[in-house]
């Protein structure tokens, strides 16, 4: 039996003092959780002109976590679901939408090359690459058309920022973030 303990939220509170934390979730993702988080984002950003883009990127990052996280748990419907963390935060100049989850180390090179390629493209090149990917064959381990990262880059206001924190010989923690400038 676990004992009740004091959780020190003050440290987290201090760490988040430079921005507003609009949404924060860590755990097993399900369609129901995603629906609730989406509702929170819509409410928090109801006056933001880029709400549709921010929301779309949040959903894409969440789906990537749901489908591709190396950490898996069985949900209520006995379906395999990804585990990770999602945040949407606001500071004086804009919004950050980020996700993090475990990935197999063998995926690091592919993800790094893919994101670097996407980051090297301008908006017109991204649009062409997106269309090209839609017409090409689906990658063998993909749950979609392989356009998620491209779509995130097309909607965001800057390059995708990412990092890998190696945990051991098999797994790393993958973090990816998109940024949206405020228009006011």
For the ranges 81-85, 163-167, 180-184, the maximum mean pLDDT occurs at: 163-167
The mean of the pLDDT values for the chain is 89
Look at strands 94-104 and 161-166 and give their pairing: unpaired
Contacts of 158 (CB under 8 A, 6+ apart): 178, 179
pLDDT tens digit string along 12-32?
A: 888 888 888 899 999 998 888
Which pair of structure tokens corresponds to residue 88?
A: 């949407």
Distances (CA, A) of 89 to 6, 27, 94, 106, 133: 26, 18, 8, 30, 30
pTM beyond 0.85: the answer is yes
Interval 3-19 mean pLDDT? 82
Interval 98-119 mean pLDDT? 96
Residue 166, pLDDT above cutoff 70:
yes
**Kindly report the CA angle at 85 between 81 and 31, in degrees rounded to 5?**
40
Residue 143, pLDDT above cutoff 70:
no
pLDDT at 172: 97
pLDDT band for 110, please (50, 70, 90 cuts).
very high
Out of 60-69, 74-83, 159-168, least confident range: 74-83
Residue 173, classed as helix, strand or coil, is strand
CATH fold for the domain made of 21-181? Heat Shock Protein 90 (3.30.565)
Interval 75-89 mean pLDDT? 85
Which pair of structure tokens corresponds to residue 46?
A: 């109801």
Contacts of 144 (CB under 8 A, 6+ apart): 63, 67, 138
Residue ranges covered by each domain of the chain: 21-181
Residue 127, pLDDT above cutoff 80:
yes
H-assigned helices in the chain? 9-15, 31-44, 51-68, 108-119, 123-135, 148-155
């Amino acid at each position: 039996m676990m004992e009740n303990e004091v959780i020190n939220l003050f440290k987290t509170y201090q760490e988040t003092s430079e921005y507003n934390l609009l949404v924060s979730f860590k755990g097993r993702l399900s369609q129901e959780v995603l629906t609730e988080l989406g509702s929170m984002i819509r409410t928090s950003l109801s006056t933001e002109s880029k709400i549709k883009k921010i929301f779309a990127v949040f959903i894409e990052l969440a789906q990537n976590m749901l489908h591709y996280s190396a950490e898996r748990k069985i949900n209520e419907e006995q379906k395999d679901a990804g585990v990770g963390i999602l945040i949407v935060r606001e500071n004086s100049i804009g919004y950050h939408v980020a996700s993090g989850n475990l990935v197999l180390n063998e995926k690091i090179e592919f993800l790094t090359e893919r994101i670097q390629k996407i980051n090297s493209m301008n908006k017109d090149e991204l649009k062409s690459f997106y269309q090209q990917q839609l017409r090409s064959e689906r990658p063998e381990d993909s749950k979609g058309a392989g356009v998620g990262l491209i779509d995130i880059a097309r909607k965001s206001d800057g390059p995708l920022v990412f990092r890998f924190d190696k945990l051991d010989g098999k797994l790393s923690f993958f973090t990816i973030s998109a940024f949206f400038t405020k228009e006011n």
